[in-house]
Structures are given as C-alpha cells and as structure tokens.
Structure 1
Amino acid sequence: MPWGGLFTFVHVVALAGWALLFLAPRGPRVAAYVLYLCVGLLCLTYTVMFASQFGSIVAGDFLSVEGIRALFASDGGIVIGWTHYLAFDLFIGQWIAKDADHKGFSRVAQAPILLLTLLAGPIGLLIWLVVRERRARASVRG
C-alpha cells in the first residue's frame, strides 16, 4: 500500500473536517459533511487499511508495550494508528461543538477547546467535560 499517500490523504480529510468545525456556519448540512464525509471517510479508510493488514494486526500483542511498539514499527502500523486518532478526535470535536452550541457557548469560547481536541484529543475532551459540568451546575443553581 502507498502509506505516504494515505498518510497525506487522511490528514487532508481530517483538516477539512476541522476547518468546517472552526469556520463554517453550523447547521445540519455542515454537521453531515463533518460526520459522513470526513469522519465517515476516515473510518472507511481505516477499515480498508486495517483489513489489508489484518493478519499482522490480529497476531499483534496488544497487552504489552513491546507488542504495541511492534505494531507501530511499520509505516502501515503508523498510518493505521494515526487514522484511528484522527477519526476519533474529529468525531469528539464535532460532539463538543454541537454540545457547546446547544449550551450557548460562543464560537470564540469553543475555539481553544476544539484546538486542544485537535492537537491532544483527551485533553480537549477533559477540559470540555469540566467546562460543561460547571455551566450545568451554574444553571441549576441560577
């Protein structure tokens, strides 16, 4: 498989989704583009790559650092793993954006959380969970 080309392709798809989240007006059409065109395409690409490498992945040891290192020791393993991250981080980014819109957070307030989710998914998600909980508690008391 042309791993370098696939690596570039998944980056372009992911960045297109993030650009839509940051810059496009939010609505059902944009949400569908991000979810189905970008996240869905990343998931489909991941599935094809995973299936092409199924034997070596399934034979891998997922329970030790050494086993995971061996899975990521090839270009294919790196691109497959990275596509996994890109797909899930974008999916979580879309959920955060939709949830923040429903809770009345401005796009400016969302931007740093979305950026953190793009760069370090679990950190952005953790910050959003803390921020949304604080808003929920304040609205219950208010």
Structure 2
Amino acid sequence: MAAILLVTIPEATRMTLETIFSLCGLLALIGWAALLASPWIPVWSDRIAGWIVPGLLAVIYVALVLAFFGEAEGGFGSLEEVAQLFSSRPVLLAGWLHYLAFDLLVGAWEAREGRRRGVPFLLVVPCFAATFLVGPAGFLLFLVVRAAAGRRAVASAA
C-alpha cells in the first residue's frame, strides 16, 4: 500500500522521513510557544496548542499509519513485538508524532486547568517543560503543583 501511495507522488515533491520529522518537531514547538504565551492570548493559545497543531500532527500520523503499518512486522502483544514494530522507521516516526501530539494536548490541558484553578503561571511553566521532555512525569508534576496551589488558595481564604 505504501508503494502505491508513494508512486502517485512525484519524486521531486516527496518528503523524506527526516524532513517530516523536522517539520513536525517545528510544528510542535509552535504549539508549545503558544502555551508559553497563553496568559496573554488564552483563546488563541487554546486553539493553536489544543487542537490545530495536534490535529495537523494527527493527520500526518494517520497518513503514516495507513501507508506503512501494514508492511511493518511486529505488533503490540509483547515487548519483543513492539520492538520489532518500531524497528520500521516510518512506524517509529508515527510513534514519535503520537508523542508530540499527545504531550502537547496534555500541555494545553495544563494551561487551561491552571487558569481555571488559579495556579500561578510561573508554576505551570516548569510543568510544560517536563511534559515536553518526559510527558507523564510533567503531567504528574502538574498534578502536584495544582494540588499544592489549591491548598495554598484554601489556606489564604481562611
């Protein structure tokens, strides 16, 4: 199937996997930059980082999955099968786009939730960095920061 899809694209306009990787990384960084600007442009930040950029990454992800997953060996039944599946460079790229999109979605949620709960933005920024670099650890950090900020707000109200 991938061969059929690639044959229909003129050689001069085909993107290499490295080019797709680089462009998608830049696209994700635009989303993270929007989150850093979220105190000043909350609506646009939510749109850019919350659905426009992840949506574009999802389109590219789906194209890669449709084009290459059928040709890849391996699966999800064991760690060995997953290792074999991700030994395919196009599938590896699709997996990376999965991370970029979902980490950005988590970051967008952190921004919205932080605003909603009154968490000081300077406490949310390190959570963005951690979510960008080590997704679940950044999410966990945000949960801790949100809980601590909530306790502080309750204590100051008393």
Q: CA deviation at 1:137?
A: 4.6
Name the structure 1 match of 2:144: 130
Q: Does the 8 Å CA contact 2:50/2:109 hold for their aligned counterparts?
A: no
Q: CA deviation at 1:134?
A: 3.4
Superposed structure 1 runs of 4+ greater than 3 Å apart: 134-142
Deviations 1:63-98 (A, max 9, x none): 212111111112212211100000000000000011
* 1:40 equivalenced with 2:51 (yes/no): no
RMSD: 1.9
Matched residue count: 141
Name the structure 1 match of 2:95: 81
Name the structure 2 match of 1:56: 71
Normalising to structure 1: TM-score of the pair? 0.88
Q: Does the 8 Å CA contact 2:49/2:108 hold for their aligned counterparts?
A: yes
Extract unaligned runs of 5+ from structure 2.
1-14
SS state at 1:105 partner? coil
Higher relative contact order (CA 8 A, sep 6+): 1
* 1:2 equivalenced with 2:11 (yes/no): no
Normalising to structure 2: TM-score of the pair? 0.80
Extract unaligned runs of 5+ from structure 1.
none
Name the structure 1 match of 2:9: none
* 1:11 equivalenced with 2:39 (yes/no): no
The code of the aligned residue for 1:62 comes to F
Q: CA deviation at 1:138?
A: 5.0
Q: How does 1:48-127 map to 2 (within 5 A)?
A: 48-56=63-71, 60-127=74-141
